[in-house]
Structure 1
Amino acid sequence: MSTNNPLFSDFEAVSSKHWKQQIQYELKGADYNETLVWESPEGIKVKPFYHSDEVDESTTNFSINTPKEAFSILQNIFVHDVKKSNERALDSLNRGAESIRFTIENDTISIENLMQNLPLEKVTYSFYLPFLSIDFAKKLNEFATKNNANFIIQLDPIGQLCKDGNWFENAEKDFEKLNQISKFSQSSFLNINSEIYQNAGANIVQQLAYTIAHANEYFNRIPAVNQPITIEISVGTNYFFEIAKLRALRLLFTTLASEYNHNLDCHIVATPTKRNKTLYDYNVNMLRTTTECMSAILGGANAIANLPYDALYHKDNEFGDRISRNQLLILKHESYFDKVNNPADGAYYIESLTKQLAEKALLLFKDIEANGGFIKQLSEGNIQKKISESAQKEQDLFDSGKEILLGTNKYPNKNDKMKHDLELYPFVKQNPRKTLIVPIIEKRLAEKLEQERLSQEA
Structure 2
Amino acid sequence: MRDKLFEDFRATSKSDWMEQVLKDLKGKSFEDTLISQAEGGIHIKPFYTREDLGAEFPLSTIHNQVNPIPSLPGLSPRQWSNTVRVAVGEQNEVSENKKLINALQTGADGLVLSLTGKEDLAVLLKDVEPSYIQIFIEPKDHVLNVAEVFEAWLESKNVDLNDVIGGFLWDPATVSLTLEFYRSEGLEVIKKLLVQFEKYPNFKTFTIDFAHYHHAGGLSFQELSYGFGAFLEHVDRLTEEGVSLELIFKNVLLKSAVGSDFFLEIVKLKVARMLIFQIANLFKHKLDPKSIPFYVQTSYWSKSKFDMDTNMLRNTTEAMSAIIGGCTALEVLPHDLSMGSSRDFASRMARNVSSILKEEAYLDKVLDPAAGSYYIEKLAEELFNRVINGILTVDAEGGWWSMSSLHDIQAEIKETRSQRQDELISGQSVKVGVNKYKQEKANASIDDESEMFDYQLNWSRHALKYELLNSSNS
Shared fold, TM over 0.5: yes
The letter of the residue matching 1:160 is V
Q: Are residues 1:383 and 2:417 paired? A: no
Partner of 1:77: 86
Q: Decide which moves more: 250-259 or 372-381.
A: 250-259
Q: Taking structure 1 as reference, are residues 332 and 57 closer, same or farther at Cα in structure 2, changes over 3 Å only?
A: farther
Paired position in structure 1 for 2:320: 294
CA distance in 2, matches of 1:259, 1:83: 49
Q: Which residue of 2 aligns with 1:194?
A: 210
2:378 to 352, 357, 381: 352
1:66 and 2:66 are equivalent in the alignment: yes
C-alpha separation in 2, matches of 1:446 and 1:53? 39
In the superposition, relative to structure 1, how do residues 431 and 14 fare at CA in structure 2: closer, same or farther (>3 Å)?
closer
Match of residue 411 from structure 1: 437
Percent identity of the aligned residues?
25
Distance 1:443 1:118 in 2: 34
Equivalent position amino acid for 1:259 in 2: L
Displacement after TM superposition at 1:86 (Å): 1.9
Aligned to 1:443: 460
Q: Is 2:280 aligned against 1:268?
A: no
Q: Does 1:160 align with 2:175?
A: yes
Paired residues of 2:252 and 2:292 also in contact (CA < 8 A): yes
Query: Which residue is 2:193 aligned to?
Result: 181
| Alignment check: 8 A CA contact 2:449 2:460 kept | no
* 1:124 Cα deviation from its structure 2 partner: 0.9
Q: 2:131 maps to which residue?
A: 121
2:280 match:
257
Separation in 2, partners of 1:175, 1:103? 21
CA distance in 1 between partners of 2:361 and 2:8 (Å):
33
Pair 1:3 & 2:23 matched: no
Cα distance change, pair 136–281 in 1 and its aligned pair in 2 (3 A): closer
CA-atom RMSD, angstroms? 2.3
Q: Aligned to 1:427, which of 447, 461, 464? A: 447
Compared CA separation, residues 144 and 103, structure 1 to 2 (3 A): same
In the alignment, which residue of structure 2 is the partner of 1:422? none
Q: Call closer, same or farther: CA 1:135–1:308 in 2, change over 3 Å.
A: closer
- How far does residue 59 in structure 1 lie from its aligned partner after superposition? 4.7
1:171 aligns with 2:186: no
SS in 1 for 2:389: helix
AA aligned to 1:46 is I
Aligned residue runs from structure 1 range 124-143, under 5 A? 124-143=134-153
Once residues 58 and 24 of structure 1 are traced to their aligned partners in structure 2, the CA distance between those partners, rounded to angstroms, is 29
Q: Deviations over 1:275-298 (max 9, x none)?
A: 221111221101111111111111
TM-score (norm 1): 0.90
Aligned twin of 2:74: none
Following TM superposition, by how much is the alpha carbon of 1:398 offset from its aligned partner in structure 2, in angstroms? 0.7
Indicate conservation of the 8 Å contact 2:117/2:149, yes or no.
Answer: no
Identify which of 47, 64, 67 aligns with 2:45: 47
Instruction: Note if contact 2:257-2:299 (Cα within 8 Å) is conserved in structure 1.
Output: yes
Q: Distance in 2 between matches of 1:61 and 1:74?
A: 27
Q: Bigger shift: 182-191 or 283-292?
A: 182-191
Please give the per-residue CA displacement for 1:196-219, whole angstroms capped at 9, x wherever unaligned.
211222111111111111222332
Tell me the equivalent position of 2:220.
Answer: 204
Tell me how far 1:431 sits from its aligned partner.
6.2
CA distance in 1, matches of 2:442, 2:123: 42
The aligned amino acid for 2:447 is F
The amino acid that maps onto 1:263 is L
TM-score (norm 2): 0.87
Structure 1 residues 409 and 428, CA gap change in structure 2 (3 angstroms): farther
Q: Structure 1 residues 399 and 61, CA, compared in 2 at 3 Å: closer, same or farther? A: closer
Note if contact 1:194-1:234 (Cα within 8 Å) is conserved in structure 2. Answer: yes
Q: How many Å separate the matches in 2 of 1:130 and 1:258?
A: 34
SS of the residue corresponding to residue 287 of structure 2 reads: coil
CA 387–262 in structure 1, closer or farther in 2 if over 3 Å, else same: farther
For residues 428-448 of structure 1, the C-alpha deviation after alignment (integer angstroms, 9 at most, x for no partner) is: 43364xx5x521132212222
The residue aligned with 1:30 is 28
Check conservation: 1:214, 1:374, Cα contact below 8 A. yes
Encode CA deviations 1:335-391: one digit per residue, 9 max, x unaligned.
110110111101100011111111110111011112211111111122122212322
- Over 3 Å counting, the alpha-carbon distance change for 1:177 and 1:211 in structure 2 is closer
Q: What 5-or-longer segments of structure 2 have no aligned partner?
A: 68-76
Q: Which amino acid aligns with 2:86?
A: I
Partner of 1:239: 262
Question: Which amino acid in 2 is paired with 1:163?
Answer: T
CA distance in 2, matches of 1:196, 1:22: 45
Aligned mates of 2:132, 2:471 — CA distance in 1: 47
2:72 aligned residue? none
